[in-house]
Chains A and B, each alone.
Chain A
């Protein structure tokens, strides 16, 4: 009787890696001018891909994010995953105090709540009002034309006198008594999701940290369910800002806070309608409520989705969840890209043993049915 070979797994894995590497480099066969994708080109020309990967990877390392994008052939889930795994090998040496985002060096800042805001609106780089027409001239862009664009833009750019920092729109609302004051909760230490497992109920800071590195599409889908009707946040974007936030760390010798660098990030604060006389920080006076979203990189859809879900989850934590987007377990345990893509992929692995066991149950049940019939 014949039997089945049970060797060869190692060779198959090596061959799969080799053929994937072939696909990465096959351009070399057809184009004589083919060159490997440069990390710098990814960093600059595919910057939103890098933004997404540093955000979902949860590590601010644009260069390694670009490397991860290159080696994963542009798969964002895989690239964020590689960055996250790299982070597992790094000890955590220090923690920043809460950083003041009013100190951000802004490249963009808008409010949909007011026509004019203190410091002014600044549209900055955004595709929001661009017509999504294919720019066919980019199909064959010459290096000379490419280099000239940025140079010309800088030359013709009027010198702007921008202040070092912009006031927050929320502060103005707070001063008017339309929002609750920043509570004592601010002095609490933030929950570190990289060092503590989520055991429900979790504090708001754990929810915010989980969403900050969540997979963009997952976060968007659940937030969208709330926007459409499985929820009722109805937010107004009080402020959305994108820019470089100075990162302060205690000096290793003196302990004094020292600027260690800056990170590009997106922050979104939404204001939602007030609720009926609920006991809150302001002693029962009706007030607007706030949802907060922030993440590494320039990721506006993610920051807005997060702010809406923050608001929805706060409601769920207080009154119980009336729909999935208000349920902390439902939202927080299903938005991580590394977790969800890993588990979806694992179904491709051998399941011979469990399937054999399933067959045993089904056959036994079927034969019992036959006996009865």
Chain B
């Protein structure tokens, strides 16, 4: 076992912070997760030096997978400069000497993200790690983990489908905005993390490996490359992504780069007027540069 000690503020930390046994355990869970697409693999999640809920599950995946030649990108809400993304990136730089970090989606080998999948399609050379607060889509209909485990095993998602149906009866719309339940490889339904519905189609037949890490809930799951991912819907009520059309039916454009095919953040200016701008900052930079 090669553990390179790193001296930081008088404390010796291993490369990647975690001790090698912990990393091995995470990797074993990852292999199992890939072998059973969509299945939530329990693992003994370690405490990280940032809060549970701030991406400790994603971070453990990153630290277990990262190598000294990695090109790493960290985003939160689509932005590389969001406070939490900065914090995680600084921690990775501190504990993984030699690793290079980038804000570009092109060229990076490992991405850790919270709430977004980049707009630019990912490649087979890339792995994306998504941070997960609630790993189980059944939690909205069944609080007991023990019972949910049986329901998953039997692919019994009837109560989830009833919830969608009840939404349509009550509101004439499915009200699930993000964390949209998605069936993987025809069996397990996953909570795809709090990505918007806009990002859900990117899970289907993805070239890149998509990993999900829930640190507090101690689960790892995966959507392996080129695997089917189907959001739950009905034949007469199709799945729909967020609608960015204005009152006149015109697709809103990013105020900065003019993009009309990206997920937009809405800002309210001091004057009260609304502005829309790309959520994915690297995408926005790319479109603006090429304009």
Measured between beta carbons, the chain B residues less than 8 angstroms from A343 are: 51-53, 133, 216
B257, closest chain A residue (CB): A3
With A338-B52, A341-B51, A356-B242 already in contact, the answer to whether A350 and B145 are too (CB < 8 A) is: no
Whether a CB of chain B sits under 8 angstroms from the CB of A359 is yes
- Listed stretches B158-166, B202-210, B228-236, B261-269; interface member: B261-269
15 residue pairs bridging A and B, Cβ less than 8 Å apart: A1-B255, A84-B47, A85-B49, A197-B42, A197-B43, A200-B145, A333-B145, A341-B52, A350-B77, A351-B77, A352-B77, A353-B115, A354-B194, A356-B279, A365-B173
CA of A266 to CA of B62, assembled, Å: 39
Docked-complex contact A89 and B18, CB < 8 angstroms? yes
Besides the known contacts A344-B53, A356-B265, A357-B197, 19 further A-B residue pairs in the complex with CB atoms under 8 A apart: A2-B275, A9-B79, A10-B86, A89-B19, A91-B20, A197-B42, A197-B43, A197-B218, A198-B218, A200-B144, A200-B145, A338-B52, A339-B52, A350-B76, A351-B115, A353-B178, A356-B264, A357-B178, A358-B178
Measured between beta carbons, the chain A residues less than 8 angstroms from B49 are: 82, 85
Say which residue of A6, A200, A360, A372 sits within 8 Å of B281 (CB atoms): A6
Return the CB mask of A80-106 against B: 1 if under 8 Å, else 0: 011011011111100000000000000
Whether a CB of chain A sits under 8 angstroms from the CB of B243 is yes
Whether a CB of chain A sits under 8 angstroms from the CB of B177 is yes
Whether a CB of chain B sits under 8 angstroms from the CB of A63 is no
Whether a CB of chain B sits under 8 angstroms from the CB of A162 is no
Whether a CB of chain A sits under 8 angstroms from the CB of B45 is yes
Docked-complex contact A349 and B242, CB < 8 angstroms? no
Whether a CB of chain B sits under 8 angstroms from the CB of A318 is no
Say which residue of A4, A85, A329 sits within 8 Å of B47 (CB atoms): A85
Whether a CB of chain A sits under 8 angstroms from the CB of B101 is no
Docked-complex contact A353 and B171, CB < 8 angstroms? no
- Closest-CB distance, A371 to chain B (whole angstroms): 9
Interface of A is mostly: helix
Whether a CB of chain A sits under 8 angstroms from the CB of B84 is yes
With A3-B277, A339-B216, A356-B196 already in contact, the answer to whether A8 and B54 are too (CB < 8 A) is: no
Say which residue of B56, B172, B196 sits within 8 Å of A353 (CB atoms): B196
Return the CB mask of A105-140 against B: 1 if under 8 Å, else 0: 000000000000000000000000000000000000
Whether a CB of chain B sits under 8 angstroms from the CB of A228 is no
CA of A351 to CA of B83, assembled, Å: 12
Q: How many residues of A contact B (CB 8 A)?
A: 59
Docked-complex contact A9 and B81, CB < 8 angstroms? yes
CA of A196 to CA of B216, assembled, Å: 14
Docked-complex contact B133 and A201, CB < 8 angstroms? no
Docked-complex contact B44 and A196, CB < 8 angstroms? yes
Return the CB mask of B32-45 against A: 1 if under 8 Å, else 0: 00000000001111
Which of B1-19 touch A at CB < 8 Å?
Answer: 13-14, 17-19
Which of B237-291 touch A at CB < 8 Å?
Answer: 242-243, 255-256, 263-267, 269, 275, 277, 279, 281
Which of A324-348 touch B at CB < 8 Å?
Answer: 329, 333, 338-347
Docked-complex contact A365 and B172, CB < 8 angstroms? yes
Say which residue of A7, A90, A356 sits within 8 Å of B19 (CB atoms): A90
Residue in B14, B85, B177, B198 whose Cβ sees the most chain A Cβ within 10 Å:
B177
Whether a CB of chain B sits under 8 angstroms from the CB of A361 is yes
B175, closest chain A residue (CB): A361
Measured between beta carbons, the chain A residues less than 8 angstroms from B53 are: 342-347, 349
- Closest-CB distance, A260 to chain B (whole angstroms): 21
Whether a CB of chain A sits under 8 angstroms from the CB of B106 is no
Docked-complex contact A6 and B81, CB < 8 angstroms? yes
Residue in A81, A82, A338, A356 whose Cβ sees the most chain B Cβ within 10 Å:
A356
Which of B84-114 touch A at CB < 8 Å?
Answer: 84-87, 90
Whether a CB of chain A sits under 8 angstroms from the CB of B69 is no
Whether a CB of chain A sits under 8 angstroms from the CB of B82 is yes
With A342-B54, A350-B83, A364-B243 already in contact, the answer to whether A357 and B77 are too (CB < 8 A) is: no
- Chain A to chain B: the 3 pairs with minimum beta-carbon distance, closest first: A342-B52, A346-B53, A342-B51
Which of B60-85 touch A at CB < 8 Å?
Answer: 76-79, 81-85
- Closest-CB distance, B82 to chain A (whole angstroms): 5
A80, closest chain B residue (CB): B47
Which of A1-59 touch B at CB < 8 Å?
Answer: 1-4, 6-10, 12-13
Docked-complex contact A85 and B54, CB < 8 angstroms? no
With A8-B81, A91-B20 already in contact, the answer to whether A357 and B218 are too (CB < 8 A) is: no
